[in-house]
Amino acid sequence: MTTTRRSLFAMTGAGLTLAAIGPVAAQTYPTRLIKIVAPFPAGGPTDVLARLMADELSTALGQPVMVENRPGGAGGTLGVRVVAGAEPDGYTLLLSNLGSLTITPSIYRNLDYDPIRSFAPIAILTASPMVLVVNPAVPANSMQELVAYAKANPGKINFASPGVGTQPHILGELFKSTGGIDMLHVPYRGAAAAITGLLAGQVQVYFETTTVLLAHIEAGTMRPLAVLSAARFPLLPAIPTSTESGFPTLKATLWSGMLAPAGTPRAILEKLNAAINDGLRSADMQVTLKKLGAEARGGTSQEFAAFLASEVQRWAAIIAATRIKPE
């Protein structure tokens, strides 16, 4: 056998070996600890959901599953980058939400990850509607009354957000343009600080997920004017939707999903998808999510991939219309 033929044979054999690694690894997966990266601080809704899913996956897969909080960067981009650059072996996963996967990439153009090409979607986990709330001192009980008050009192309405380019910021700007009103945007460092500002009367208006606001609404410390969903929210049945309130284009939910680095073997994705769907269907998980004001979703990885692509396009168009720029 010539040297050239031996080299070609060795290269071919190495290629076959590498091709076989994926299926073999998928058959035995998992054999060690799995890490779920949550790109937001501990204690927030993304972190809470990550820990719930870690428990479910650990039970289903028979291996420990830990949550690693990696906050930082614009809109949680630090943690997202960590997973985008991780080995595609199923042992480093990302649990993130709409913001860092569909909104942030349309605002910050020089990110070193792509929400579509850098990840292998596993499953959408939950969704919870956004709700428009005001400080109880605001003399408005509906979106139309808030618009009328803002027009009659220019310069007196401020709206909060957890930061520039976040979903609440975009919704506030969209409400300004559709309602023809002037509101001053006041960015805070996170949802907790924004809520504190609303409760203290520093700002008057806030858009946020029911997961975060439900306890405050039930306590009467903030007044809900509308839920930004297609149908009324079961835990707030008396609160009209934005469509019922005359703002049909102002619809938004905060969804969360689980993803792996691009290139993760299909068999591993399917095993994780099955475990996630089983966990979301469990009675205990359903009860827990309901208390948090969230709805379990689930479904196939292909469905999540199609949904993610549509959400990237949708929010890119909204951001272009609102002309939000990073500060």
The per-residue pLDDT for range 37-96, each reduced to its tens digit, is 998 877 777 888 999 999 999 999 999 999 999 877 777 788 899 999 999 999 999 999
pLDDT value at position 22? 55
Q: How far apart are CA 186 and CA 159, in angstroms?
A: 6
Q: Which residue has 């949708």 as its token pair?
A: 314
pLDDT value at position 11? 44
Q: Which of 3-12, 69-78, 254-263 has the lowest mean pLDDT?
A: 3-12
> Could you tell me the domains of the chain?
32-127+253-322 (3.40.190.150), 129-227 (3.40.190.10)
3-state secondary structure 200-254: CCCCCEEEEEHHHHHHHHHHCCCEEEEECCCCCCCCCCCCCECCCCCCCCCCCEE
**What's the pLDDT band for 23 if we cut at 50, 70, 90?**
low
pLDDT value at position 140? 96
